[in-house]
Amino acid sequence: MRVVRLASEIDFDGWRIAARRLRAKGVTPETVIWKVERDLFEAPAPATPSAPAGAFTVPPAFVDLARSVILHRAPDRLPLLYRLLWRLEREPRLIDNPADPDVAKARDMQKAVSRAIHKMHAFVRFRLVETDPETYAAWFEPAHRVTEAAAPFFARRFTTMTWTILTPDACVAWDGETLKVSDGADPAEAPSEDAQEELWRTYYASIFNPARLNEKMMRQEMPKRYWRNLPEARLIPQLIETAQARAAAMVAATPSPAPDRVLKAAMRQARDGSYNSDVPTSLEAVAAGVQLCRRCDLWRDATQGVPGQGAANARLMFVGEQPGDQEDLAGLPFIGPAGQVFDEALSEAGVPRDRTYVTNAVKHFKHEPRGKRRIHKTPGGGEVQACRWWLDHERRLVRPRVIVALGATAANAVMGKATPIGVNRGKALQLPDQTRAVLTYHPSFLLRLPDPDARARARAEFIEDLRLAGELAGLLD
């Protein structure tokens, strides 16, 4: 039997060097024992491997897979990886076979590690531990050993802060310039509650939208195991309990009527449906006009028009396709399932939604009945063109530096022609009025992707695009 000792549980370089040497010498997987301990009587392994006789290559996909799987807590992950490496010699396309039990198991571990990184990004809460200099700390217990892998996100997100994240596996500290990693901490070292947490709970309660609550999805995305580290967790049971009644009150509430002068102007425009005589002079006038718009027939089956919402002088404007079922009922853009994906992605990108303006290319919900449900239908080119009158005036009044088109319909409305997303996303496009445009996926596209890997890749690209737009607009601190 061969015994291989690694320097740590996540010693990927050590595993890689040892695995290559073992395979080059023809050592079979069942004769190898992997241990995580340092032998004091053994010379340390060199930092880089020398190329053994009969050097070989493996697919880059395997290397990426191994880097993730080694962060998993499963004790059999190291033998599994070496078994896959051994089999690749005779089965070079092994990694592309999702039905293979070893590949399927490794992919499941990779997904679990990816989820653990995402949860760490979402649920770390910093607490003020020193005021001079201002220093923050957080305690977190990740499902897998992902602390070092997750740390660069926090360095980008909180660049100007001095902070430390404590976990049982490792601690990472940021001094404004350098990330430093040290040994894991004890739960007793977790920072205690600070004065800012009551303010955070007040803010969280004020932004909680009961109309958007999906309790099953919330518990799936925000498992209870993380609640003990979240200041807002103590509010969640009560918010869930009262959500249904609060949502019903929102639907039943009478909308605030537009001022008489605005309403009269909108009614004059509505008589012939042309909207070419009286140009709206404010977003308030646009909102009132949308309610009376007859430029196409979508108003007939919609509950109400849904104008844009947000800062009147926002540097960054988001344009979606059209309101969904929940938006149609509430009269607000992006509050349904796609809106939740949108908000989460904005948060990860570091873009504050309250400093943006969010609207849609088409202001009425296009749908078809199916039983008790109303199923979304994509607006046609004529409907997009008819509603572009309103979008153009929103752009004129807000005057954003950057416009993000979410999906193909929005790209058509913003660019004035059909513009593919795939070949144009990730770029800053110039519009005739000198505004910059960024094209990306619609959040609902991420919800529809059945393959978890494809969904994770698309979500990462979506967040990159939002971050690019935030940087172009000067909204990232």
Walk me through the domains of the chain, giving residue ranges and CATH numbers.
2-119 (no CATH), 124-189 (no CATH), 207-250 (no CATH), 295-473 (3.40.470.10)
pLDDT given for residue 407 in this prediction: 95
Mean pLDDT on 249-275: 60
Q: Is the pLDDT of residue 79 over 90?
A: yes
Contact 440, 425 (CB under 8 A): yes
More confident residue, 238 or 437: 437
Mean pLDDT score across all residues of the chain:
87
pLDDT given for residue 265 in this prediction: 63
DSSP letters along 24-60, please?
Answer: HTT--GGGEEEEE---TTSPPPPSSPPPPTT-----H
More confident residue, 21 or 220: 21
> Residue 292: which pLDDT band, with cuts at 50, 70 and 90?
confident
Mean pLDDT on 41-49: 45
- Across 256-265, 292-301, 347-356, least confident range: 256-265
Q: What percent of the chain has pLDDT over 70?
A: 90
Instruction: Select the highest-mean-pLDDT range: 55-59, 145-149, 322-326.
Output: 145-149
pLDDT given for residue 346 in this prediction: 94
DSSP letters along 331-390, please?
Answer: T-SS-SHHHHHHHHHHHHHT--GGGEEEEESS-S--EEEETTEEEE-PPPHHHHHHHHHH
pLDDT given for residue 272 in this prediction: 47
pLDDT given for residue 267 in this prediction: 61
pLDDT given for residue 256 in this prediction: 59
Q: Is the pLDDT of residue 44 over 50?
A: no
Look-up of token digits 């709970």: 201
> Residue 357: which pLDDT band, with cuts at 50, 70 and 90?
very high
pTM for the model: 0.53
pLDDT given for residue 45 in this prediction: 46
Which tens digit of pLDDT belongs to each residue from 402-428? 999 999 999 999 999 999 999 999 999
Residue 293 DSSP code: -
Q: Is 296 exposed, middle or buried (0-12, 13-18, 19+ CB in 10 A)?
A: buried
Residue 272 DSSP code: T
- Across 157-171, 203-217, 252-266, 283-297, least confident range: 252-266
More confident residue, 219 or 161: 161
